[in-house]
Amino acid sequence: MQRIAVLTSGGDAPGMNAAIRAVVRKAIYHDLEVYGIERGYVGLIEGVFHKMDLGSVADVIQRGGTILHTARSKEFMQPEGRQKALENLRQRGINGLVVIGGDGSFRGALELHKLGFPVIGVPGTIDNDIYGTELTIGFDTAVNTVLEAINRIRDTATSHERTFLVEVMGRNSGWIALEAGLAGGAESILVPEIEPDYNEVVERLKRGIARGKRHSIILVAEGVESAYKVSDEIKTRIGLDTRVTVLGHIQRGGTPTALDRVIASKMGGLAVELLLQGESNLMTGIVGNKMVTVSLEEAVTIKKTLDLEAYNLAGILSI
Ligand code: F6P
């Protein structure tokens, strides 16, 4: 192994830059040449590669987003696109690739591995929906961003004695809603993994009102239903004065938390070590505060389950 490359793909996540920095600096430490590929698989197909040095990743550890830019490539889904990508890598004498992204990105990485190219995945997505790791890069920052929003909303909700619905990201995954809801003391948390029970939501609101509670916060993961629709449901059933806040892409930006920077640095460093050991088809992960690996096949085919114990606890604590 003499020359490796790194790309970021799919939705950006705070901490991706810390991971790029770790890959670049660990590679240079081991006397490898390292190339950054622009816009994920799009740049891989179009041949947009830049040689990176120590200075290329200076002053980025604290920045959200990704300095390499990111994209979702349709062409890479086709065998012709992947062949072009492979040629670009081989022409430049690159013999290992680190892919930082989510499950869609890893599906692409797996295809490259099947073509005989060494690839290591580093999980970077705010959704925390990747099997094989307890944490993905960006999740902790996103949860803290939502929590800050909840704190602010709680001030106005308390003052006006209102019920607020806060819609958070997560098309197929309720991790952001669950952890931000648990940390923010939400009255109800609606996640895509569990069929919403509006009677239960309303019952909880009624119980709160009966004991003198005049404000409530309900977290809705985007994959469940639009928070506006949930708000209408509640209005129709108990006629409460509700307001809706959709947090949207605010959750994807911002300076990464210490935890995201630490796991990004560890995972990026491990990815380079794995390539140096001649490994491929692996994703880096963290389980029980220890670095682990899982195969890319497992990472993309096994569904990570929501922490139901934490979900039930959140329900008990917010009665
Ligand atoms: O996968 C990350 C994520 O932010 C999801 O939570 C969300 O559903 C999706 O990306 C939004 O994608 P886009 O930025 O393409 O609208």
**Does ligand 1 have an atom closer than 6 angstroms to the CB of 125?**
yes
Nearest residue CA, atom 15 of ligand 1? 11
Is pTM beyond 0.95 here? yes
- The pLDDT tens digits of the residues spanning 116-142 come to 999 999 999 999 999 999 999 999 999
Task: Report the candidate in 74, 112, 111 with the shortest Cα–Cα distance to residue 94.
Answer: 112
CA of 11 from ligand 1 middle (Å) equals 6
Decide whether 3-138+256-301 matches 140-253 in CATH topology. Answer: yes
User: For the chain, which residues make up each domain, given as ranges?
Assistant: 3-138+256-301, 140-253
Fold for 140-253, please state it.
Rossmann fold (3.40.50)
Give the pair of three-digit tokens for residue 157: 């909700």
The hierarchical CATH code for the domain 3-138+256-301 is 3.40.50.450
Closest ligand 1 atom to 170 CA = 6
CB 110 within 8 Å of CB 282: no
Characterize the bridge pairing of strands 97-101 and 119-123. parallel
Question: b/e for 263-289, b at 16 or more Cβ within 10 A?
Answer: bbbbbbbbbbebbeeeebbbbbbbeee
Asked if residue 127 has its Cβ within 6 Å of ligand 1, the reply is yes
Centre of ligand 1 to C-alpha 70, Å, is: 12
Locate 299 and state its tokens.
């990472």
Q: Which atom of ligand 1 is nearest to the CA of 102?
A: 1
Question: Among 114, 98, 116, 111, which Cα is nearest to 9's?
Answer: 98
Of 126, 141, 169, which is best to mutate to test ligand 1, by the most ligand atoms within 8 angstroms of its C-beta? 169
The average pLDDT across 268-276 equals 98
Does residue 293 carry a pLDDT above 90?
A: yes
How far apart (Å, rounded) are the C-alpha atoms in residues 83 and 80?
5
As a whole number, mean pLDDT of residues 302-313 equals 98
**Banded pLDDT at 1 (limits 50, 70, 90):** confident
pLDDT at position 89 over 90: yes
Marked catalytic residue, from 127, 129, 140, 260: 127
Structure tokens at 305: 């389950």
Residues 171-195, mean pLDDT to the nearest whole number: 97
Distance 250 CA to ligand 1 centre (A): 11
Strand partners, 101: 123
Which distant-in-sequence residues (6+ apart) come within 8 Å of 60 by Cβ?
Answer: 17, 18, 20, 21, 67
**Å from CA of 315 to ligand 1 middle:** 27
- Ligand 1 centre to CA of 125 (Å) is 9
CA gap 70, 16 in Å, rounded: 11
| Whether residue 127 lies in the annotated active site | yes
Please state the rounded mean pLDDT for residues 279-288.
98
102 within ligand 1 shell (Cβ under 6 A): yes
Q: Which residue's CA lies nearest to atom 13 of ligand 1?
A: 11
Average pLDDT over residues 163-181: 98
Q: What are phi and psi of 163, to 5 degrees?
A: -100, 130
Q: Which of 84, 166, 91 is nearest to 177 (CA)?
A: 166
Q: What are phi and psi of 249, to 5 degrees?
A: -70, -5
pLDDT in tens, 10-37: 999 999 999 999 999 999 999 999 999 9
